[in-house]
Amino acid sequence: MTQIEQLERDIMRLNRAELAALRDWFENYLADEWDRQIEEDAKAGKFDRLAQEALVDHRAGRTKRL
């Protein structure tokens, strides 16, 4: 049995309160992972081109105030 299969079996045995606690924990975990990935990508310059394009569009009047 794989680790994923074991986790699936264990999750199916949780009661509603435990399942809700797991869901909340996992949502927070995923959000934190997303934030870490965005931070890594920003430090690596992966958004630089997009930022430059946005600035060019803004200076050319192709944006509107939110």
Question: Can you spell out the DSSP letters for 19-62?
Answer: HHHHHHHHHHHHHHHHHHHHHHHHHTTTTHHHHHHHHHHHHTT-
Helix (H, G, I), strand (E, B), or coil: what is residue 12? Answer: helix
**pTM of this prediction?**
0.69
Split into its structural domains, the chain has a count of 1
Closest CA relative to residue 31, chosen from 39, 20, 21, 42:
39
pLDDT score at 33:
98
pLDDT score at 23:
98
In a domain, 66, yes or no: no
pLDDT score at 4:
97
In a domain, 31, yes or no: yes
In a domain, 21, yes or no: yes
Residue numbers of the chain with a pLDDT score lower than 70: none
In a domain, 65, yes or no: no
In a domain, 46, yes or no: yes
In a domain, 9, yes or no: yes
Range of the domain at 42: 3-59
Burial class (CB in 10 A: 0-12, 13-18, 19+), 55: exposed
pLDDT score at 54:
96
